[in-house]
Amino acid sequence: MSTVELTAENFDQTVTDNEFVLIDFWASWCGPCRQFAPVFEKASEKHGDIAFTKVDTEAEQQLAAAFNIRSIPTLAVIRDKTLIYAQPGALPEAALEDLIRQAREVDMDEVRKAAAAQEAEQA
């Protein structure tokens, strides 16, 4: 599956329609972003069950701000409409594969329980 350009307009639909979404925040002027792009694209071809998306931080400043993007490239992982990972830095292929493996292993029931407990604590 090839990567999809993520925008403010299609963000909600993309996250709702896909259980597992990987987001690459990038910009055309960013050297490390351009180096990471083929690694991200290659992974998208291996993992057809994951929505691989890209956010051009220049064109989608509001979306980048919503994720508090301060440095690019930044990779974010959303599972079951929940952000479970967001870190800056271009990953080599092996590290990206490891991140995908770890993200698949996250117990989303535990994540939801922890989030509910945190919300209750703040209330």
- 116, 63 in Cβ contact below 8 A? no
The CATH number of the structural domain formed by 4-122 is 3.40.30.10
pLDDT above 90: percentage of residues in the chain: 85
Annotated catalytic residue 37: no
- The answer on pLDDT for 2 being more than 90 is no
Distance CA 52, CA 86 (A): 14
Is 82 known to be catalytic?
A: no
Q: Quote the mean pLDDT of the chain.
A: 94
Active-site pick, 15, 30, 76, 90: 30
CB–CB of 73/86 below 8 Å?
no
Euclidean distance between CA atoms 3 and 109, whole angstroms: 28
Question: Which stretch of 1-5, 9-13, 40-44, 62-66 has the lowest confidence by average pLDDT?
Answer: 1-5
Q: Please pick, among 6, 23, 33, 78, the residue that the annotation labels catalytic.
A: 33
More confident residue, 116 or 78: 78
| Mean pLDDT in residue range 44-67 | 96
Spell out the domain ranges in the chain. Answer: 4-122
Give the pLDDT band (50/70/90) at residue 1: low
What is residue 62's predicted lDDT score, i.e. its pLDDT?
Answer: 94
Q: Give the pLDDT score at 116.
A: 85
